[in-house]
């Protein structure tokens, strides 16, 4: 059911791209073609910039005709660097899953060998500041590693994907909630994330992208508020149960929500303010309408 929902949302994504865009960077490579990777590929391809998709799998990907899919070994830095050089890639965007975040290190090494100008690590989700272990700790380590090898990076915190909220709640007319369920957190839709990535990478100068964190927020919600929108009966628990193969990650995510760590304004210690507040990154895409939970799920 989880994969089915994702496939439906990915297939229906559409992008509106202004015709007068000017690309700052000239060529792009996406690493990983999954839930967020394929939408970003489509959004970039719509701007008519050269884009390649690097994938571990040889399976056919549903990409535009102007995107070349290249099978690579994520453990072979030299081989990846060769591909990046052959295609004169300026920017690498990694969309490897949270559970595979540590695998980005080899891709970073390849990017260094290839002289990549900007690296966008797979941060799409909760803020990773302050984490030292686990999947989010792996993401934080990659951010530090990029700095250590001298590759400028753009990190994008999005909060939970709006499309995955039914999966987050649990379904069957109930919503499993750890804690009180009143802590606000950030959600952003997949099309908005993809469009944002394409927009900033093709319109903003390097000075506004290098070593920058963008804190997006399509809508600020609470678990109780979501339960009400989906007409689900709240079930307050200490631990989520009967949630299948992703139960461990779901427990981590819903606990993080209750603790305030799922707001994109979270800075590792507390909720940020000013330039570090949740949603401040939205300003980099002026005039854009950010989809709400109600709009995405036709509530």
What are the tens digits of pLDDT across the range 114-143?
Answer: 999 999 999 999 999 999 988 889 999 999
Angle (CA) 252 211 66, round 5°: 85
Confidence at residue 17, expressed as pLDDT on a 0 to 100 scale: 43
**pLDDT value at 43 more than 50:** yes
CA distance linking residue 163 with residue 124, whole number of Å: 14
The beta strand positions in 28-75, using DSSP E, are 28-31, 51-55, 67-71
**Strand 233-237 relative to strand 174-178, pairing:** parallel
- Domain for residue 236, yes or no? no
**Per-residue confidence (pLDDT) for residue 19, from 0 to 100:** 38
Rounded to whole angstroms, how far apart are CA atoms 74 and 61? 17
Per-residue model confidence (pLDDT) at position 99: 66
Q: For the segment 135-172, what is each residue's pLDDT rounded down to a tens digit?
A: 889 999 999 999 999 999 999 999 999 999 999 999 88
Question: Into how many domains does the chain fold?
Answer: 1
Residue 32, pLDDT score: 87
Residue 37, domain member (yes or no): yes
Alpha carbon distances (Å) from 6 to 34, 164, 166: 9, 8, 11
What's the mean pLDDT in 174-185? Answer: 96
Question: What is the reported pLDDT for 245?
Answer: 86
298: in domain: no
Enclosing domain of residue 209: 2-159+189-217+265-288
Residue 235 has pLDDT above 90, yes or no: yes
**pTM of the full predicted structure?**
0.91
pLDDT exceeds 70 at position 204: yes
Nearest to 92 by CA among 72, 75, 112: 112
In a domain, 242, yes or no: no
Cα dist from 201 to 50, 140, 158, 195, 207, whole Å:
13, 22, 16, 10, 12
- Check pLDDT > 70 for residue 250: yes
- Asked if residue 32 lies in contact with residue 95, where contact means CB atoms within 8 angstroms, the answer is yes
pLDDT at residue 58, as a whole number:
62
29-38, 55-64, 123-132: segment of lowest average pLDDT: 55-64
pLDDT averaged over the chain?
90
Task: Give me the sign of the Cα torsion angle 230, 234, 240, 244.
Answer: negative
Shortest CA distance to 120 belongs to which of 15, 18, 204?
204
Q: What is the CATH number of the domain that holds 6?
A: 3.40.50.720
**What does the alpha-carbon distance between residue 42 and residue 2 come to, in Å, rounded to a whole number?**
22
Q: From CA 252, how far away is CA 179, in angstroms rounded?
A: 13
Between residues 120 and 74, the one the model is more confident about:
120
Q: Measured between alpha carbons, how far is 185 from 265 in angstroms, rounded to an integer?
A: 9
Question: Secondary structure of the chain: what % helix, strand, coil (to 5)?
Answer: 40, 20, 40
Please report the pLDDT score of residue 135 as a whole number: 80
Confidence band (pLDDT; 50, 70, 90) for 2? very low
171 is a domain residue: no
Q: What percent of the chain has pLDDT over 90?
A: 77
Residue 210 forms part of a structural domain: yes
> Is residue 30 one of the residues assigned to a domain?
yes
In a domain, 274, yes or no: yes
Weakest mean pLDDT among 55-59, 81-85, 172-176: 55-59
Q: How far apart are CA 263 and CA 7, in angstroms?
A: 26
Continuous H helices in the chain: 2-11, 37-46, 77-86, 104-114, 134-149, 165-169, 190-203, 223-229, 247-258, 293-297
Length of the chain: 299
Instruction: Return the minimum-mean-pLDDT range out of 18-22, 46-50, 62-66.
Output: 18-22
């Amino acid at each position: 059911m989880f994969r089915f929902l994702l496939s439906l949302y990915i297939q229906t994504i559409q992008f509106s791209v202004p015709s007068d865009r000017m690309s700052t960077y000239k060529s792009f490579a996406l690493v990983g073609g999954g839930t967020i990777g394929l939408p970003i590929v489509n959004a970039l391809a719509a701007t008519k910039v050269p884009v390649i998709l690097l994938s571990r799998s040889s399976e056919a990907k549903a990409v535009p005709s102007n995107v070349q899919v290249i099978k690579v070994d994520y453990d072979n830095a030299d081989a990846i660097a060769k591909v990046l050089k052959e295609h004169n890639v300026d920017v690498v965007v990694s969309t490897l899953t949270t559970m595979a975040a540590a695998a980005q290190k080899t891709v970073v090494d390849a990017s260094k060998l290839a002289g990549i100008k900007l690296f966008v690590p797979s941060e799409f989700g909760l803020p990773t500041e302050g984490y030292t272990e686990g999947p989010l700790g792996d993401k934080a380590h990659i951010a530090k590693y990029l700095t250590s090898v001298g590759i400028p990076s753009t990190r994008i915190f999005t909060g939970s994907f709006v499309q995955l909220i039914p999966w987050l709640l649990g379904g069957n007319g109930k919503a499993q909630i750890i804690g009180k369920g009143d802590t606000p957190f950030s959600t952003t839709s997949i099309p908005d994330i993809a469009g944002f990535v394409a927009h900033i990478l093709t319109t903003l100068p390097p000075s506004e992208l290098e070593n920058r964190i963008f804190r997006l927020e399509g809508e600020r919600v609470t678990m109780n508020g979501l339960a009400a929108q989906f007409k689900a009966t709240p079930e307050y628990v200490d631990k989520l149960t009967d949630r299948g193969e992703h139960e461990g990650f779901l427990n981590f995510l819903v606990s993080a929500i209750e603790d305030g760590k799922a707001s994109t304004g979270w800075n590792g210690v507390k909720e940020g303010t000013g330039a570090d507040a949740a949603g401040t990154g939205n300003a980099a895409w002026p005039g854009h309408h950010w989809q709400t939970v109600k709009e995405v799920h036709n509530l």
